[in-house]
Amino acid sequence: MTALPLVFDAPRRGKPPRHLADLTREEARAAVAELGQPAFRADQLSRHFYRGTTDPAQMTDVPAAARETLTAALLPGLLTPVRHQAADGGRTRKTLWRLHDGALVESVLMRYPDRATVCISSQAGCGMACPFCATGQGGLTRNLSAAEIIGQAVAAARAMADGDLPGGPGRLSNVVFMGMGEPLANYARVRTTLQALYSPAPHGLGLSQRSITVSTVGVVPGIRKLTEEGLSVTLAVSLHAPDDELRDTLVPINTRWKVAEVVAAADAYAERTGRRYSIEYALIRDVNDQPERADMLGRLLARRRAHVNLIPLNPTPGSPWDASPLPAQRVFVARLRAAGVPTTVRDTRGQDIDGACGQLAAADLAEGVPSVAVVPPEPLEPPMELGAEGDE
């Protein structure tokens, strides 16, 4: 496996067309006024957008003559679904989206008895180069605009409302930034997206901040910035190793910001928000799953406001690594708990459609590689809420 460079600055490509969701309220009102319409139509358009209405014919509160103009100017279709793939009896659905410039991203909607979570992408590709992650191995194509990120959540909310997943109409309750990309490397757009996710109608999806999880590889300045925002969104940190020596190899950004710095930044976030953060830890056979490492991780996190979310590695093509066997997983969990660290094992939704964590590699999928449906593995623990507080 060749080591890829870390890439923070996204390549500049043609900007997506202007979209209402990228504008402030004032900018949107001004844009509507420029088109010769009363400014309040900006709120009407916003309501339609967040409800997932894309057909101008359905915007009956807007004069028929103005619908096409306003839609074309402010609600251009930015995400074209290329295909949906279902797994877990239809309760998991992965969507491949094509963007205006041909770039591809994926999002995954997962329905549980008590909630529905969408996992969204913040970048096309990723520059963080983690060797066990399919997205990381494909490199960074570009940052997504806020409207492109928000659009994935809106589509999921609409799919739930329409009852597209078995179980009848429902409500999107959670959003996790665990798709393609490093959200804190696309900070401004992700910040705009957060606001849209928690703002009530007509300016957003009205989700609770706590049910939104920002997952980061450990971009410390980004964590600090997020802390200063004074929000209460859930923070997840992809640690994957308790020691710098191993983490340098698994999460290359560790060569810039060490374990101690990342954990200190997450502590400050917890301090400010009063909320526990999640530590993501992919269990890789014979790489980071030794009992001694569990003890080391336990010592690192004991008495911190952290919850560990273990993810049995989802093997990616070309990687020599495999998931830890069940007995090793159990020992790891037991040792962490013995150290007083709340620990759960993540449900492996969507593994068979390459929709699980670290498997999103839309660029390869574009070649049309068919996926084979297999019986999904039984989770070790009852499925837990992704990025949730973590008490079982």
- Please identify every residue annotated as catalytic: 106, 357
Size of the site for ligand SAH (CB under 6 A): 18
Residue 235 near ligand SAH by CB under 6 A: no
Total Cβ atoms within 10 A of residue 248: 15
| One-character DSSP codes across 305-337 | SEEEEEEE----TT----BPPHHHHHHHHHHHH
Q: Could you tell me if 56 and 71 are in contact, meaning their C-beta atoms sit under 8 angstroms apart?
A: yes
Element (H, E) at 355: none
One of 87, 217, 301, 362 touching ligand SAH (CB under 6 A): 217
Residue 328 near ligand SAH by CB under 6 A: no
> Structure tokens of 105?
């991203």
Q: Residues with Cβ < 8 Å from 234, sequence gap 6 or more?
A: 210, 211, 212, 213, 214, 275, 277, 278, 387, 388, 389
One of 186, 288, 316, 324 touching ligand SAH (CB under 6 A): 316
What is the C-alpha to C-alpha distance for residues 385 and 392, in angstroms, rounded to an integer? 10
CB-nearer residue toward ligand SAH: 132 or 277: 132
Q: Binding string to ligand SAH for residues 113 to 132, with x set by CB under 6 A, is what?
A: ---------------x-x-x
Shortest distance, position 79 Cβ to ligand SAH, whole Å: 19
Shortest distance, position 238 Cβ to ligand SAH, whole Å: 3
Residue 238 near ligand SAH by CB under 6 A: yes
CB-nearer residue toward ligand SAH: 311 or 365: 311
- Comparing CA positions, the residue from 297, 288, 377, 312 lying closest to residue 342 is 297
Q: Residues with Cβ < 8 Å from 17, sequence gap 6 or more?
A: 76, 78, 100
Shortest distance, position 31 Cβ to ligand SAH, whole Å: 33
One of 182, 289, 347, 352 touching ligand SAH (CB under 6 A): 182
Residue 147 near ligand SAH by CB under 6 A: no
Amino acid in position 12: R
Shortest distance, position 75 Cβ to ligand SAH, whole Å: 28
- Give the N- to C-terminal CA distance of the chain in Å, as an integer: 38
- Residue 237: strand pairing partners: 216, 279
Shortest distance, position 281 Cβ to ligand SAH, whole Å: 8
> Structure tokens of 284?
């890789």
SS (H, E, C) 35-91: CCCCCCHHHHHHHHHHCCCCCHHHCCCCCHHHHHHHHHHHCCCCCEEEEEEEEHHHC
Q: Could you tell me if 312 and 321 are in contact, meaning their C-beta atoms sit under 8 angstroms apart?
A: no
Residue 178 near ligand SAH by CB under 6 A: yes
Amino acid in position 176: V
Q: Residues with Cβ < 8 Å from 79, sequence gap 6 or more?
A: 97, 98, 99, 148, 151, 152, 155
- Residue number closest to ligand SAH, CB atom: 358
Q: Could you tell me if 126 and 173 are in contact, meaning their C-beta atoms sit under 8 angstroms apart?
A: no
Shortest distance, position 84 Cβ to ligand SAH, whole Å: 20
CB-nearer residue toward ligand SAH: 52 or 350: 350
CB-nearer residue toward ligand SAH: 192 or 215: 215
Residue 357 near ligand SAH by CB under 6 A: yes
CB-nearer residue toward ligand SAH: 104 or 313: 313
Q: Binding string to ligand SAH for residues 252 to 291, with x set by CB under 6 A, is what?
A: ----------------------------x-x---------
Q: Binding string to ligand SAH for residues 368 to 387, with x set by CB under 6 A, is what?
A: --------------------
Shortest distance, position 312 Cβ to ligand SAH, whole Å: 7
One of 314, 324, 329, 344 touching ligand SAH (CB under 6 A): 314
Total Cβ atoms within 10 A of residue 97: 23
Question: Can you tell me which residue has the tokens 């797994």?
Answer: 87
> For ligand SAH, which stretch binds (CB under 6 A), given 22-30, 64-72, 225-233, 312-320?
312-320
Shortest distance, position 165 Cβ to ligand SAH, whole Å: 22
CB-nearer residue toward ligand SAH: 135 or 192: 135
CB-nearer residue toward ligand SAH: 151 or 218: 218
Residues that bind ligand SAH (CB under 6 A): 128, 130, 132-133, 178, 182, 215-217, 238, 280, 282, 311, 313-314, 316, 357-358
